[in-house]
Amino acid sequence: MAIEVIGKSNYSKQILVLIAKIYDNTLVADSVYEQAIQCFSLVDAKQKRQTELEQQLTLFEHRRAQGANKEIASLERQLQQAKAELQQYEQQCADEALQRFSCLKQICITILQLTQGETEEETRQLSAKMLGTIQLLSPTEGRHIAITNQKSKHLYKAVLSLRLLDKLLADNHITDQYILQRFHAAAGSYADFNRYHPFRDDVQIPLLMAALLQDIGSCHPQAQQVIYGEDGKADPFRVMSQEERASMLQVSYSQSIRYTLEQIQDRYQGNSKAERDFFNQNNQQKKIFIQNLLKGAIKPENGIGNLLKIPQVYTSVVLSTKHNFVYETLPRVALVLEKGVEKGVYCATAVSSLLAITGVFPQGFGITYIPKDSDNQDLDRYEYAIVTGLYPIQPQQPMCRMVTRNLTYNVSAQGCIISASNNLYYPLARKKLAVVSQERLLEILELLVSNFEERKNMPLLPKCWHPDEYFSIIKNQNLWNKVTIHSN
């Protein structure tokens, strides 16, 4: 019998590295969010140093203007030294802002490389793979759920924002002229990353940046004080009071805007005046676009802020950081969004577009379903599958990879579209198996779980299953290669 190797596939490792570049907690402190924490902690000191140098320069200018002829040479040297010190300090700050920009842009490029295919079908498959891998690498039980989801949610949200943009553009729901002008200018082409591409460089990458930086203001000391309490010992994942939450969100929003505009800076590197003029104008327009996205996400109504807001809400449910996290409730994310539409809180068009992409069941979710025989008749058992496809034909019918067959784990299993009538998440399907004896259900459970003694007292008709243990085996981590899809 072959030994099951537990670990990470190359792709899973790649996703974990990408997540760590965005949000991590290490001694190196080189992730986007760690850079922000460091930057925020030095803002006051940097501003003080800047003021000191400017005052010193003003002082020497005044002295030179008032000085006697015999002092001019000495004062001129002091003035030039003061200018040099100020210029050197400003250059240092600009270089640091450029470094932060470069790191962020490279992350965005990597996201695009991993999710953007040559065809629409390939783009959907690659995006499903990234979203599903993030979900499957996240624990579904235990005490590490909150911190893991906290790290992963920024990347997850960014991918959803990209795909929501695609959907809204395809359905002619985007009216923003900046986006439309770049979209039409690209004319469907997708140049390599060494050449300028108006839609990718001016819309997709700025959108990804905005998605990744949307919560960056939470790293500011004032926000951190609310999150961790006055004594720094409060549980950051607790349910905050309404006052605490409002205070934290206000600081986070204002500081996210400020950080994005002041501490993430690109600059032209070349000698062409025409290129420099184009770069500066284009760069300013991208800044305005990012600012509009961040500001619009607060009250998006029907605007482009929905590109951040709706994925943010979806992600907050699917990768929840709340202590009352219950895995089987994840499909309720669709209900959360739809209820928000009913209350007039969320944009109906944006919500329906996102749910058309994701369906009811999130990528990587463990589905339990009743299989059919060759005559299309329901069998007296349930099997396991994992959601692996975006854009389901019906939101309640997920596109899945079959994980077990005849109650045996089968890596080469086929894909299937699972109907609501046979999906045990729904009461109707569970009712079908209500006639099956408890002995038979225990027999099924014993074949499917590794910890039968611990699990045998749990519900014998599970609404779903937890696939993280299955996914921890390296050979099971390629769930997105092409398979024949059947209906069930």
Q: What is the mean pLDDT of the chain?
A: 91
Report yes or no: 22 and 212 within 8 Å, Cβ to Cβ. Answer: yes
334: nearest Cα among 305, 325, 353, 389: 353
The pLDDT confidence band at residue 454, using thresholds 50, 70 and 90, is low
Block residue for tokens 């060494």: 194
Task: Give the tens place of pLDDT for each residue, 459-481.
Answer: 889 999 999 999 999 999 989 98
Distance between CA atoms of 57 and 51, rounded to whole angstroms?
Answer: 10
Task: Quote the DSSP letter at residue 6.
Answer: B
Q: Does position 177 have pLDDT exceeding 80, yes or no?
A: yes
Report yes or no: 57 and 83 within 8 Å, Cβ to Cβ. Answer: yes
pLDDT: which is higher, 261 or 481: 261
**Averaged pLDDT for residues 302-313:** 97
Which residues make Cβ contacts (< 8 Å) with residue 254, sequence separation at least 6?
217
156: nearest Cα among 333, 405, 345, 378: 333
Beta bridge partners of 389: 399
Largest CA distance in the chain: 107
15: nearest Cα among 126, 124, 120, 117: 126
Structure tokens at 402: 């079959």
Distance between CA atoms of 21 and 23, rounded to whole angstroms?
Answer: 6
| Per-residue pLDDT, 191 | 67
Q: How many residues does the chain have?
A: 488
Task: Give the tens place of pLDDT for each residue, 206-260.
Answer: 999 999 999 999 999 999 999 999 888 899 999 999 999 999 999 999 999 999 9
488: nearest Cα among 424, 409, 408, 412: 424
| Per-residue pLDDT, 363 | 98
pLDDT: which is higher, 189 or 102: 102
Task: Give the tens place of pLDDT for each residue, 7-41.
Answer: 899 999 999 999 999 999 888 888 999 999 999 98
Structure tokens at 304: 């482009």
pTM of the full structure: 0.93
Question: In the chain, where are the structural domains located?
Answer: 11-107, 146-345, 366-487
260: nearest Cα among 226, 293, 224: 293
Task: Quote the DSSP letter at residue 200.
Answer: I
Which residues make Cβ contacts (< 8 Å) with residue 269, sequence separation at least 6?
none
Q: How many Cα atoms sit within 13 Å of 336 on the Cβ side? A: 17
